[in-house]
Amino acid sequence: MTAAGTSVEPLTLDEAAQHIHDAAFAASEIGTVGLEVETHLVDLRAPAGQVPWTRLLPALDAGRRQLRRSSITIEPGGQVELSGAPEPNVRAAISAMRHDEQRLRLVLAEHGLGLAHLGADPARKPHRVNPRPRYRAMERHFITTGSAAAGQAMMCATAALQVNLQAGPRAGWAERFALAHQLGPTLISLSACSRWLAGKDTGWVSARQRAWNGLDPRTSGPLTLSGDPAAEWARYALAAPVLFVSTGGEDVVAVARAVPFSAWASGRARLADRLPTQADLTTHLTTLFPPVRPRGYLELRYLDVSAPRWWPAIAAVTATLLDDPVAADAAAEATEETAGRWHDAARLGLRDPALAASARRCLAIALERAAPELGLAVADLAELVATGRSPGDLAAERIADVGAVAYLEEVAHA
């Protein structure tokens, strides 16, 4: 055992499968909500360039001391992620996140930096600035396995709104997990905010989702929905290739080919001249990014982040459609025809008639069932979607007027 209590003994394939299965869901009461908001860091004096690591660290350290409920992490491309503490409901989660987001924005402004809430960086080429060995190894893995462009974009130029919800009572896990997937294409369509990437109009309403689609589906594709979602998650995780392996301490080495974790655990493949340990499995699970990831709770990872005017409404709609039983039943009916249309949602969004119809219906359901304090924000989003546009369409229209760099600067100053 290590000092932290983690076994360093080799892990068998059966032990790995059992651990993944048992940790997938935790029986709980529905209601608690956690939010994570990613955003792009922008130099307000030179918005066309990346913010250097040596400059962003002191600024974010100063911001970290001003936050009340959130923690800060730095993504590979220098994107800032605010992770809120679990709150008793989505209203409280939104309020806490907005408070910390504004505090961080004010501190960063003193350092000449701003935050741009967009699903993808519309102007700057993807470039890794975070020197953490994990990210360097991930970058190398994507290069050697043929997904360099998608991996670079995903790591360094995208930003998401993540909604974390309780798994709920054990008897409802399969149904709740399935609904979280079924809602995905509709919620992608109404949250899409990343048509532009690296100075180019991609033609996709969500270039962020396009980047995920370009990766190995064994690490980023949706799960196959079976009778036991915990068993399906175990199957998925064991079939997913290992991205990198620890060689001691903080040092890691990229795996330059696609080696499923099951092959490593069974001894059919040998990485770093050893078999995997419990710590290796724990790390491996953090490199898997399906649209809905079970971590005891449900991580909904398929939403683009958008401007502060819009993301609270998107969070409210998402939580309401899953956590309110009346809304959940109605949303299941409203999205039945669009289930599984992940690709169309990312490419076409509300331009697809069926997805537009399901989005309007889901917004009407949420408007009727959401907490009154969130009604104005949801109504604002519903009014926009009723015109056939998403937050990303507004961004794309503005970029067409002023250009990608000017728009990035504009929203970072906001």
At 375, the amino acid letter reads G
Spatial contact of 316 and 377, defined as CB atoms under 8 Å apart: yes
Range 22-26 contact pairs with CB under 8 angstroms and sequence separation of 24 or more: 22/230, 23/295, 23/296, 24/229, 24/230, 24/233, 24/234, 24/294, 24/295, 24/296, 25/167, 25/170, 25/173, 25/229, 25/230, 25/294, 25/296, 26/167, 26/296, 26/297
Query: Could you tell me the CATH number of the domain that includes residue 106?
Result: 3.30.590.20
Contact 133/251 with Cβ under 8 angstroms? yes
Q: Is residue 332 part of a domain?
A: yes
- What angle do the packed helices 184-191 and 353-369 form, to 10 degrees? 90
Q: Which residues in the chain come in under a pLDDT of 70?
A: 1-7
Give pTM, 2 decimals.
0.95
Number of structural domains (the chain) is 1
What pLDDT, in 10s, does the model give residues 236-258?
Answer: 999 999 999 998 877 899 999 99
- Could you tell me which of 332, 359, 329 has the C-alpha nearest to residue 344? 359
> How many angstroms separate the Cα of 42 from the Cα of each of 17, 19, 127, 394, 414?
42, 41, 13, 20, 12
**Would you say residue 243 lies in a domain?**
no
Of residues 414, 412, 375, the one with CA closest to residue 113:
412
Alpha-carbon gap, residue 389 to 384, rounded angstroms: 6
State the residue for tokens 């953090």: 286
Indicate whether 187 belongs to any domain.
yes
List the structure tokens of 289. 């990014």
Residues 56, 77, 220, 89: is their CA dihedral positive or negative?
positive
From first CA to last CA, the distance across the chain in angstroms is: 51
CB neighbour class for 68 (10 Å; exposed up to 12, middle 13-18, buried from 19): exposed
- Domain residues for 398? 33-233+289-413
Give pLDDT, residue 408.
97
Nearest to 78 by CA among 159, 178, 156: 156
Give the pLDDT confidence of 117-160 residue by residue, as tens digits. Answer: 999 999 999 999 999 999 999 999 999 999 999 999 999 999 99
Residues 6+ apart with CB under 8 A from 98: 308, 312
Q: Taking a C-beta distance cutoff of 8 angstroms, is the pair 84, 70 a contact? A: yes
CA distance 214 to 243: 16
Element (H, E) at 400: helix 391-402
Residue 325 CB-half CA count within 13 A: 5
Pick from 378, 362, 359, 407: which is nearest to 309 by CA?
Answer: 378
The answer to whether position 163 is within a domain reads yes
Q: Is residue 4 part of a domain?
A: no
d(CA 46, CA 41): 12
Confidence (pLDDT) at 7: 52
Listed residue (43, 59, 204) closest to 120, CA to CA: 204
Relative orientation angle of helices 311-323 and 325-334, to the nearest 10 degrees? 100
Residue partners of 119: CB distance under 8 A and separation at least 6 = 158, 159, 160, 191, 192, 193, 194, 206, 207, 208, 304, 305, 306, 392
Return the H-helix or E-strand segment holding 108.
Answer: helix 90-110
For residue 41, tell me if it sits in a domain. Answer: yes
Q: What percent of the chain has pLDDT over 70?
A: 98
Closest CA to 139 of 121, 157, 122, 124: 157
* Residue 336: strand, helix, or coil: helix
